[in-house]
Amino acid sequence: MRRGTGPERPDDDAVRVLVVDDHTVMRAGVVALLAPEPSITVVGEAGEGAEALALVESLRPDVALVDLRMPVLDGVQLTARVVAAPVPTRVLILTTYDTDEEIERAVEAGAVGYLLKDTTREQLVDAIRAAHRGETVLAPRVAERLVARMRRPAAAALTSREVEVLSAAADGLSNAAIGRRLHIAEATVKTHLLRVFAKLDVSDRTHAVVVALERGLLQR
């Protein structure tokens, strides 16, 4: 756990930032990028979610720059805990992952922004200031994905048979084994899975199971 890693605050209006990333080099790089900016002070660093939560509670930063995939508490879990605090810290996701599911989970958890790690220093500084003001900040590529997702027709509901097939797939059964369990032909199993893939906008059974679980279409 590291505290007070930034320079002395130049004025009382400086945005207090906590940097949370399990990659030491990446974390140090972000701190170095922000160091010359007089309106921002890095008050602490954390290498995993539980450590970050403790620092949020003790340091009360204005903004937490949070990676998504970390040990103990991941970025989404950390975000939900942080924004639920009596005096919430604004959470700005800074990650390499830009899948629809990752973005949705972070936004639903309460993140005010979602940036990718190819963000420039100027963009990062502007995003931190905007996040501190409570404004939504999205990387252009992330914004495009969200808009495209909103424009898609709503996915059709899965039929009861499709749920049965997908549930069996989630149990690790092959198409032939699924057919035997449900007393249907293997070709019919393949047809049901292809329809599920189309409805969930995925390309394989593993992703289909993940998306179905996230949307509450499967119960495990």
Q: What percent of the chain has pLDDT over 70?
A: 90
pLDDT at position 9, please?
41
CATH no. for 2-150 = 3.40.50.2300
pLDDT tens digits for range 117-134: 999 999 999 999 999 998
pLDDT at position 8, please?
43
pLDDT at position 1, please?
43
Phi and psi at residue 44, in whole multiples of 5°?
A: -175, 165
pLDDT interval class at 29 (50, 70, 90)? very high
- Work out the end-to-end distance of the chain between its first and last CA atoms, rounded to an integer number of angstroms: 36
pLDDT interval class at 115 (50, 70, 90)? very high
Domain boundaries defined on the chain: 2-150, 160-214
What is the C-alpha to C-alpha distance for residues 135 and 74, in angstroms, rounded to an integer? Answer: 23
pLDDT at position 10, please?
44
pTM: 0.66
Most confident of 72-76, 178-182, 184-188: 178-182
Phi and psi at residue 73, in whole multiples of 5°?
A: -120, 125
Name the nearest CA neighbour of 166 among 183, 190, 146: 190
Average per-residue pLDDT in the chain? 88
Domain over 160-214 is classified CATH 3.40.50.300: no
Give, in degrees to the nearest 5, the angle at Cα 13 between 53 and 6.
50
pLDDT at 78 over 50: yes
What is the C-alpha to C-alpha distance for residues 78 and 70, in angstroms, rounded to an integer? Answer: 10
Report, as an integer, the average pLDDT of 209-219: 86
